[in-house]
A and B are shown apart, each in its own frame.
Chain A
Amino acid sequence: MGAQPRFLIVDDFSTMRRIVRNLLKEIGFADAEEAEDGAVALNMLRSGKFDFVVSDINMPNMNGFDLLKNIRADEKLKSIPVLMVTAEAKKDDIVAAAQGGASGYIVKPFTKATLEEKVQKILQKSQ
């Protein structure tokens, strides 16, 4: 990972992608791109260089769980931290994300402080 990690924000709602992107910029991570679902995200991850994924779960085409599964199953991608940011608050989902290899889990609605704390913690662990 370089000096500034490159983020991929995955969410089917453009509003939420924009919010997360702006928050990351405020936190100090201006290098970010967006994908509207897991399938698009996976293609972007395989064709580009990303250091951190912030993903929703409930999305069309490929949901966040399947994206996570694909990332963890891919030799080149499996070390990329994946932070789930989702409205899914069921414990089963949180457990499933943890078991699937998620690096963190934030339930919407969330605050800037929460996002900053999780991102920083995950980055510290992955260094």
Chain B
Amino acid sequence: MQPTETSVAPALHCDAIGSDHGTAPKPKTPRKARRRKAGPAADVTVHGDTCAGPAATQEPATSESIYQRIGHLTRTLHDALRELGYDRELMGTRQQLPDARDRLAYIARVTGEAAEKVLNAVDRARDVQQALTRQAADLHRRWKAVEAFTAGGCGRATPAGQALVEETCRFFADVEAQSDRANTILTDIMLAQDFHDLTGQVIRKVVALAQTMEEQLVKLLVDTAPEAAAAAPAAAPALEGPVVNPAGRDDVARDQADVDALLASLGF
């Protein structure tokens, strides 16, 4: 069996990718570097000509010389990072990455739970809808018999009574159509929950990227400033927002019961 059908809608995915509509990003100068330009760090010496390639030295690029150059560049980077204070910034960044990952995981979990709640509600609403439709169909069938009887004339119903019977029959007939419309709306609500899958996949990729960055930063820090990595100053406490990962923490309330217990212990 050969597949022939596709339902590809690339345009739908352009926004997710974050297209910049063809405008090339302007090269940015690191803020710290700009700030430090006139300060003491401006005196940092960059060793070696990092722009010069093998042609400039007129020497054949052997593996050994390439490794030596890479080693030299690494040493230069190491010195520059320390002198500019970037090692501390890198350390800060590294420390924030696990938190960023936790927050993303939290978003994925909470949005997933929200989607499940909506799906549960849709299922319940559909059950109610179906029960109503069944009851209406049953009553419609019985009222049709009444309608046939009252239409027989011979004073079987007053004009007002007959009008009421006819109106009731029309209402029951309309219930089925209304029910179909409501079901279509419920289907739309259900389908809209696919955002969880789509956003979840993006979040998963970003979490993986953060993990890779963290690992690389750890390696870089260990290579360039092991003592800084060991004795990094703690980040200033800030408002944390929702607790994304309460596991193993005793400084957060896990739920409202924890909050109430804490308040009670304080006499509130």
Chain A residues close to B by CB (< 8 Å): 11, 13-16, 18-19, 22-23, 26, 58, 81, 87, 89, 91, 94, 97-98, 101-112, 114, 118, 121-122, 125-126
Contact = CB atoms under 8 A, between A and B. Distances in A.
A109 B7 contact: no
Given A15-B193, A19-B194, A81 B1 contact: yes
Contact of A108 (B116, B122, B123, B194): B194
Interface residues of B, number: 29
B112 to A, nearest CB: 6
A104 B200 contact: no
Contacts of B191: 19, 23, 109-112
A107 B9 contact: yes
A108 B6 contact: no
Contacts of A101: 1, 3
B112 A15 contact: yes
B119 A108 contact: no
* Closest A-B pairs by Cβ, 5 of them: A13-B197, A16-B197, A15-B196, A98-B3, A15-B115
Interface string B182-203: 0100010011011111101100
Given A15-B112, A109-B194, A89 B1 contact: no
A103 B7 contact: no
A19 B7 contact: no
A53 B162 CA distance: 55
A97 B194 contact: no
Contacts of A107: 6-9, 12
B250 interface: no
A15 B197 contact: yes
Given A89-B9, A109-B12, A104 B194 contact: no
Interface of B: 1-3, 5-10, 12-13, 112, 115-116, 119, 122-123, 183, 187, 190-191, 193-198, 200-201
A105 B197 contact: no
A48 B200 CA distance: 30
B7 A110 contact: yes
B3 A104 contact: yes
Contact of A89 (B8, B115, B122, B196): B8
Contacts of A89: 8-10, 12-13
Contacts of A110: 7, 191, 194
Nearest to B114: A15
Contact of B5 (A104, A108, A112, A126): A104
Contacts of B196: 13, 15-16
A94 B6 contact: yes
B187 A112 contact: yes
Contacts of B123: 22
15 contacts: A15-B112, A15-B194, A16-B194, A18-B116, A19-B191, A22-B119, A23-B187, A81-B1, A87-B13, A94-B6, A94-B8, A105-B8, A108-B197, A109-B195, A110-B194
